[in-house]
Amino acid sequence: MLRKFLLAVGLLCGVMEVCMAQSALIPYNREYYHLLDRYEILRGEFAPHYQTGFKPLRRDNVARFLNEVDQEATGRVDEFNFRYLRNDNWEFVEEETSLSKKPLWKKIYKKPSDFYYHRDKDFDVHVNPVIYFRGGTESGAEGTNFRNTRGITLRGSIDRKVGFYTYLTSNEVIFPTWAEDYAAHNGAVPGQGFWKPYSDHGYSYFAARGYFTFKASKHIEAQMGHDRNFVGEGYRSMILSDFSNPYMFLKLNVNVWKLQYTTMWAQMTADIFLNSRNRPEDGRYPQKWFSLHRLGMNIGKKLNIGIFESVMANQADWTYLNPVIFYRWVEHQLGTPDKVMLGTDFKWNFARAMQLYGQFALDEFVFGEFFGVEGKNSKRNKHGLQLGYKYINAFNIPNLDLQLEYNQARPYTYQEKFEHQAYTNYRTPIAHPRGANFREAIGIIRYQPLPKLSFNFTGIYHLYGTDPDEATNMGGDLLKNRLEGEDGLGLYGHRIGQGVENKLIMGNVVASYMLKHNLFIDLGHSYRRHTSEDSDAPAVSNYSHLSLRLNIARETYNY
């Protein structure tokens, strides 16, 4: 029912008269989007053409922002970054961008950013190959782990009114041991969905994403397709992140005055039991339905506040398709047990080159227990929290950027007692990779001493609780029913880290050099030390890798 409705909406909107030129979106890539954040923070006020609380962003809007801040470049590195960003979105910038000095056969790489493009008044298409070759070694692990990714991406527009994007890759991967353990426990490769066994302990999967975009009116834009989304300003998101498998969705953005209202309806894959060949027992993947509203508002030029509500339902219901209604009211009106979450997020450029940001996601709340002494640490008070800080050109050192972030989620947050209603998609969390029952501190140092050379150091500390056995649920594993294993645990006394306490310290350093536009060579090393109450000795890993990638974001295994 919902599938037919979404198709009807897409066909209806697709034939509407479009008011403005349309573009594809910039795939969410933390390092790429950090550059946009960097120049917005340095500018001291928000970009007037978009809000960053809901990503990804449209290329034409980003190009309009680049046209305004290009003159603020203060050195060789900034000039290089602006040139890179403008070349990457060249069809929407005001001034002429770079031309390749020696295009192949006068057709290939005429522009540094495009293997091939064709652009006229009716049709615009940009075609690029996708490559990721990585080899690495890990202490204590047998053999070499690697990644072999080949594919293609294309984007463009039709009649300057309907934008489109497609990404297709074939992949064979052998992960570092901890990522392999995570995938084995969840029965899913994070961010990829369906997979097949490869070699003794590797994974083979086909990745596909695609969508089209259009403007329904001057202030209303739409996107429909199969992809991921990200809410917030942090390295993580406690509301909706890009960690899980892509999903089918319809998203509407309404931009009026200082307001941005986003509503999204998505069809996700439920947490099914998979056999040894990654197939459901009945031959079909059951679905569940996710809806989200977010209202963001710029208060002045330096403070943005957003409020959101979301619902996860095990079956489609027409009422949730109403873009201007409160989900909690709908849930009560229908008499359903669907899982509703509420919350807020913010960012504040409170000082020159500095930003504070955060999120609060509320799962369940009992006022008397939250503030009362007797009800302290009640199982019914479930929430996720984030607080972060960004400092650009830290300590007056050019191109040295600092980011600090704290995240936590109380036990049983994002879990649910009814089937297929946990905040997961294809057996992986749709918010934080750890699920719940954790505290996390993250520190990120980014330094770009030369135009094409950048360094990234990421340090992470986790404290989290795991279940002592399969029959017990201490509130961290989102694949478990909230009522499972609760006998004897009681209503009160639940604290973060309960169960088997684990501590994780992880440090990653990566040097990246841009050989050509969007062609990078990465050299990195990771140190990981994991201690657990049920283990006599810590598990220590040292992992080194070298990779070559083209038109694809750098992979991270920071969990």
Q: Is residue 150 part of a domain?
A: yes
Q: Is residue 95 part of a domain?
A: yes
What is the three-class DSSP state of 322?
coil
Pairing status of strand 428-429 against strand 438-450: unpaired
Q: Is residue 268 part of a domain?
A: yes
List, for residues 50-78, the tens digit of each pLDDT value: 999 999 999 999 999 998 886 666 789 99
pLDDT recorded at residue 326: 63
Q: Is residue 14 part of a domain?
A: no
pLDDT beyond 70 at 333: no
pLDDT recorded at residue 153: 98
Q: Is residue 1 part of a domain?
A: no
- Say which DSSP state 199 is in: T
Q: Is residue 10 part of a domain?
A: no
- C-alpha span between 482 and 485 (Å, rounded): 8
CA-to-CA separations, 178 to 78, 137, 220, 559, in angstroms, rounded: 37, 13, 44, 8
Residue 295 buriedness (CB in 10 A; 0-12 / 13-18 / 19+): middle
pLDDT beyond 90 at 11: no
Domain count, the chain: 1
pLDDT recorded at residue 206: 94
DSSP state letters, 334-398: HT---EEEEEEEEEEEEETTEEEEEEEEEEE--HHHHHSSTTTT-TT-EEEEEEEEEETTGGG-T
Mean pLDDT of 500-506: 97
pLDDT beyond 70 at 8: no
pLDDT recorded at residue 17: 46
How high does pLDDT run on average in the chain? 89
pLDDT recorded at residue 495: 94
- C-alpha span between 127 and 390 (Å, rounded): 35
List, for residues 392-434, the tens digit of each pLDDT value: 999 999 999 999 999 999 999 999 888 789 999 999 999 999 9
Domain boundaries, position 436:
19-550
pLDDT band at residue 15 under the 50/70/90 scheme:
very low
Q: Tell me, what CATH number does 514's domain have? A: 2.40.160.10
DSSP state letters, 490-538: -SS---TT-SEEEEEEEEEEEEEEEEETTEEEEEEEEEEEEEETT-SS-
pLDDT recorded at residue 380: 87
pLDDT band at residue 1 under the 50/70/90 scheme:
very low
- The CB density around residue 555, as the number of other CB atoms within 10 Å, is 17
Q: Residue length, the chain?
A: 559
Confidence (pTM): 0.93
CB-based burial, 423-448: b 16+ in 10 Å, e otherwise: bbbbbbbbbbbbbbbbbbebebebbb
Q: Is residue 462 part of a domain?
A: yes
Q: Which helix (H) or strand (E) holds 428?
A: strand 428-429
Is 296 within 8 Å of 260 (Cβ atoms)? Answer: yes
Q: Which helix (H) or strand (E) holds 307?
A: strand 303-313
- C-alpha span between 273 and 465 (Å, rounded): 24
Q: Is residue 5 part of a domain?
A: no
pLDDT recorded at residue 437: 97
- The CB density around residue 468, as the number of other CB atoms within 10 Å, is 13
Of 350, 241, 256, nearest to 296 by C-alpha is 256
Is 531 within 8 Å of 497 (Cβ atoms)? Answer: no
Residue 9 buriedness (CB in 10 A; 0-12 / 13-18 / 19+): middle
List, for residues 92-116, the tens digit of each pLDDT value: 987 766 666 666 667 889 999 999 9
pLDDT band at residue 317 under the 50/70/90 scheme:
confident
What is the three-class DSSP state of 310?
strand
Q: Which helix (H) or strand (E) holds 293?
A: strand 287-299
Q: Kindly provide the residue ranges of all beta strands, DSSP E only, lying in 56-186, ordered along the sequence.
A: 116-119, 123-138, 145-158, 162-173
